[in-house]
Structure 1
Amino acid sequence: MAAEVLNSSSVFRLNFCTELNICASISATSPSRKPLAPMVGRHKNRPMKNIKAIYFLTLLTFTLTACGQTKSDRTILGKSYAEQELKSALTDKSQHNVIDNKTSIIKDSLTAINIAEPILFSIYGKDNITKQRPYEIYFIDSYWVIGGTLPKEYLGGTFLIIIDSRDCKIIRITHGK
């Protein structure tokens, strides 16, 4: 009985290892008395599976590339339309506008930092600004006041940027010395 349990366990392990195409770590009895290595080999269907996988991936790649957006399949309104909209926005204040100068559109500190950093990077350099992390950030009377920090006992200045949360207008940008 113990031999039957051992043999069935070995066959299970062999079949499992054969599916994974790896060698078994235990010895198993074989009715053919052949060594284990020739029995654990490549399946006859494996090359066909590889061809099917390559065909599927190629088809998927072509399908996704063909469905990509290009400039030619988009409606472009043009610069004259943009100029007309700008002129209308500057002169006609009665038009629909999400910005009402009463409601904050920059609602959290992460958004305020994501607005401030690219501007600060372009003026003072990315390395200079990122060295001033973590930033001090305060929301005071609908304005985001963001400043850099320096390590203790470090001499130098930090940036300061103040942004109106209602219309994203930058009120002040400066950097100490």
Structure 2
Amino acid sequence: MKKILYILVLGGLMSCQKEKETVLKEDIQFLKIKNGLIESSYYENVESIKPIDGFIPNDSTAIRIAETILYKVYGENNIVKQRPYNIALKQDSIWCIQGNLPEGWEGGVFYIELNKNNGKVEKMFHDK
């Protein structure tokens, strides 16, 4: 009697394991990669993380991000010459970063605003 009970329990566990394997195979099909990305439908119901301090939590991070963007648009040499930058946090959510020219130099400087909470570039220009 114990043997029969043992076989039934073992058989039940094995069928559960097979069912679990089937689900995993279906999940893998669902995550089928197209063009190097997981299908976007996978992310429809996934809530985005929102860091407590925002995506750009401090001035040093803001400067690194700004430089990456500004180098690409205006050239690294041009931006580096404008150090040290002026930086301020406006309304507790917008990093404002502006270039600086040495006294007596003529020309314009860059200005960029980065949203601390979502990382978006709110404004960017270079005056003359």
What's the TM-score, normalizing by structure 2?
0.65
Q: CA deviation at 1:155?
A: 1.3
Task: State the distance in 2 between where 1:140 and 1:172 align.
Answer: 13
Structural RMSD (CA): 2.3
For 1:79 and 1:161, the matched residues in 2 are separated by 36
Aligned counterpart, 2:37: 82
Letter in 2 for 1:127: N
Q: Distance in 2 between matches of 1:161 and 1:124?
A: 12
How far the C-alpha of 1:81 sits from its partner, in A, is 6.1
- Pick the structure with more strand per residue: 2
* Residue of 106, 115, 120 corresponding to 2:65: 115
Equivalent residue runs for 1:14-163 within 5 Å:
78-80=33-35, 82=37, 84-85=39-40, 92=44, 95-99=46-50, 104-141=54-91, 142-163=93-114
Q: Secondary structure at the match of 1:150?
A: coil
State the identity %.
Answer: 34
Q: State which structure, 1 or 2, has the greater radius of gyration over its C-alpha atoms.
A: 1
Aligned in 2, Cα 1:139/1:79: closer, same or farther, shift over 3 Å?
A: farther
Q: Could you list the runs of 5+ residues in structure 2 that have no partner in the other structure?
A: 1-31
The alpha-carbon deviation at position 80 of structure 1 amounts to: 4.1
One-letter code aligned to 1:98: I
Aligned residue pair count: 96
Report how far residue 164 of structure 1 moved. Answer: 0.4
